[in-house]
A and B are shown apart, each in its own frame.
Chain A
């Protein structure tokens, strides 16, 4: 797979971020697990409606990435990778609000989309996977092949088609019918549908990372009362930390 000259820099950035986050340059990654480990970063899940995919706010000493929890898990993963571009490599604006449509928006948005694609689907890894699943080297990818690719890399149908069209593995015309019946195309091959579903309703509002750590620290250092600590958690949609999970039987250690 040949990376266009214009995108070489974005690929390098994706590789450098993978390295920074402790990942090799080719494996499929769990972008959320990696993001939770980023210093000074709070991650907020919030239902933002139909048009916004995510928001990145860069502050002094703390940063926030918000993800639209109404999007599918696969799309949320792409969005997290996209927002990480704004966090690490976009110095234009302290706050960026991003469209749900991949490939839409100005130059920085295009770059962030391409970066996200490279971060989640490194060119050499994608190339290897395509070689492995294609029936014959000169043949075209089928809808089933596309499902296998998106499942392997954990991305949405929109994200994988965006990339495959960009790599000339598919034409827009060939990709069009693959935008329909996404869930049934995957479950009929034996995959579960988690990647194609939004966050469950009871988890659509959540805050993770630095904010929760800071609230805990303020309590431990005696700067706030436990009531203030609970207020901070409730305002960050963490009623589970105040009142406990409403799951019967408690946690399982296995």
Chain B
């Protein structure tokens, strides 16, 4: 059984731009998680059409938004990745960091198309 799939902004956007997010709902029914920071990034003015497509997925129950609660281990990792990365690492985006942190806390899968920046944090 497939674990939950935590999408970063760029990855989910790629499907939303070409209007093929239905591929994801077919491949991972009930497993699609949009981290709250990713949802927030998709809510900026100028890309309202992407946010609208995500909202359709959410209202149909085909995806869910998951927030990161402060004071948790997940938040500590998220903070580390976005604000104070350990030696040799660069600051990564909130969307990427949220998908990594949430996936780690629930043994899930990170969905990203930016391997270069996150490869050192994940198991392939």
Contacts and interface: CB of A to CB of B under 8 A. Distances in A.
Contacts of B94: 228, 231
A243 B50 CA distance: 11
Nearest to A205: B45
B13 interface: yes
B84 to A, nearest CB: 13
Contacts of A224: 90-92
Interface stretch (A24-32, A164-172, A232-240): A232-240
> Which has the most chain A C-beta neighbours within 10 Å: B13, B46, B47?
B46
B17 interface: yes
B45 A228 contact: no
Contact of A222 (B10, B46, B47, B90): B90
Interface residues of A, number: 20
A234 B13 CA distance: 12
Interface string A214-227: 00000000111111
Given A227-B92, A227-B93, A234 B44 contact: yes
B36 to A, nearest CB: 14
A230 B93 contact: yes
A225 B93 contact: yes
Name the prevailing secondary structure of the B interface residues.
Answer: helix
Contacts of A239: 44, 46-47
B41 interface: yes
A106 B119 CA distance: 57
A58 interface: no
Contacts of B35: none
B10 A225 contact: no
A204 interface: yes
> Which has the most chain A C-beta neighbours within 10 Å: B8, B44, B116?
B44
A226 B90 CA distance: 10
8 contacts: A202-B46, A204-B45, A223-B91, A225-B92, A228-B92, A231-B95, A234-B44, A239-B44
Interface of A: 202, 204-205, 222-231, 234-235, 237-240, 243
